[in-house]
């Protein structure tokens, strides 16, 4: 199979044709049209075998996750996804692998009405780089630098599930937990939530490296600090039933890959927040409050002797 046959077979067939794609796959570059009064939002992420997913991961899940983690970044800006490009480095052209990878990738492309508009295909160790492009109304993007003193801090969903899955990797316990496998292999980007937060929140981040690290980015960028109540950290029943409280809190604070959103809301906007997130049935939890003093401080329940060290994933 040549490079061109490969692209033709797995990445161009029966794809949705968006009106804003003037020229898609097949030329030296794509031609795209950004709607009036919208900013173009662009983000890219690479997934490496053995770093971002275990080598044995199913190709469907690799394709799904490659797009999911990128969409999570768009969600954190409040953007509506539109287009994607895919740079694929493969050790060999394995048709079965490519078919499954493509199925996983296009699951999310189609769900969000996106179009794959270009890419690159090369031979080498497995690596997947996706770029996603989307829109946000001018001046409405959610930014890390926009947290303000007295803003309430919220997170969506539950935290620490992907972290527990990673800890249990290879164990029979993990193989039996459909919930943990799902959370680890097929993270659901909070695209609708990000869009709903536009105009309610000004500041968000997606949790890829762990809450402490990612909230830390918000706090530094905004020149503020915060306290977080460990008892408020949202935990799934799997975490609650299998770990002690301090173990679960530590995972919720320090483990990455959950791809939930952390965002801040000024107290005056809280009724509106309830309305917009209620409408899309997005679970969210108040975990703490922004304050003037720099740094992140954990608050423990009375009589609790836990003292959790804060860290986050670092590539270097
Ligand atoms: P060039 O040599 O001009 O860079 P390529 O041969 O790399 O062009 O690509 C030909 C066309 O196929 C381009 O439109 C490119 O965007 C697209 N393409 C290449 N690889 C992929 C891929 N993995 N997924 C989607 N489109 C791809
Ligand atoms: Mg070219």
By most ligand atoms within 8 Å of CB, the mutation choice from 2, 3, 7, 21 for ligand 1 is: 7
Q: Whose CA is nearest to atom 1 of ligand 1?
A: 28
pLDDT at 291: 98
pTM (2 d.p.): 0.95
Calculate mean pLDDT across residues 37-43.
98
Q: What is the pLDDT of residues 76-122, one digit of tens each?
A: 999 999 999 999 999 999 999 999 999 999 999 999 999 999 999 99
- Max Cα separation, the chain? 66
pLDDT, residue 254, reads: 96
Q: Which residue, by CA, sits nearest to atom 22 of ligand 1?
A: 119
Assess whether pLDDT exceeds 90 at residue 58. yes
Residue nearest to atom 16 of ligand 1 (CA): 118
Residue among 32, 62, 118, 127 to mutate when testing ligand 1 (max atoms within 8 A of CB):
118
8 A C-beta contact, residue 268 and residue 152: no
Residues with CB under 6 A from ligand 1: 7, 11, 25-28, 86, 88, 116, 118-121
Cβ burial of 232 (10 Å; 0-12, 13-18, 19+) is: middle
pLDDT band at 15 (very low <50, low <70, confident <90, very high): low
* 223-234 pLDDT tens trace: 999 999 999 999
In this prediction, residue 180 carries a pLDDT of 96
């Amino acid at each position: 199979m040549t490079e061109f046959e490969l692209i033709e077979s797995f990445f161009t067939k029966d794809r949705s044709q968006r009106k804003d794609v003037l020229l898609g796959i097949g030329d030296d570059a794509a031609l795209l049209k950004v709607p009036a009064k919208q900013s173009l939002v662009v983000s890219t992420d690479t997934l490496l075998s053995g770093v971002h997913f275990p080598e044995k991961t199913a190709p469907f899940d690799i394709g799904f996750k490659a797009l999911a983690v990128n969409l999570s970044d768009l969600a954190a800006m409040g953007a509506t996804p539109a287009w994607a490009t895919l740079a694929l480095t493969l050790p060999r052209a394995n048709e079965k692998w490519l078919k499954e990878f493509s199925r996983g990738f296009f699951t999310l492309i189609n769900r969000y009405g996106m179009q794959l508009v270009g890419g690159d295909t090369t031979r080498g160790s497995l690596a997947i780089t996706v770029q996603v492009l989307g829109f946000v109304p001018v001046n409405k993007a959610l930014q890390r630098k926009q947290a303000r003193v007295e803003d309430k801090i919220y997170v969506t969903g539950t935290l620490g599930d992907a972290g527990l899955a990673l800890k249990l990797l290879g164990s029979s316990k993990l193989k039996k937990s459909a919930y943990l496998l799902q959370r680890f292999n097929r993270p659901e980007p909070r695209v609708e939530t990000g869009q709903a937060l536009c105009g309610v929140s000004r500041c968000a981040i997606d949790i890829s490296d762990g809450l402490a690290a990612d909230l830390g980015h918000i706090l530094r960028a905004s020149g503020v600090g915060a306290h977080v109540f460990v008892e408020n950290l949202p935990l799934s029943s799997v975490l609650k039933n299998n770990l002690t409280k301090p173990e679960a809190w530590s995972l919720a604070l320090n483990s990455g890959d959950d791809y939930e959103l952390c965002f801040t809301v000024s107290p005056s906007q809280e009724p509106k927040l309830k309305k917009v997130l209620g409408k899309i049935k997005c679970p969210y939890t108040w975990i703490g409050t922004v304050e003037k003093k720099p740094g992140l401080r954990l608050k423990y329940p009375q009589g609790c002797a836990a003292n959790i060290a804060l860290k986050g994933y670092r590539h270097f």
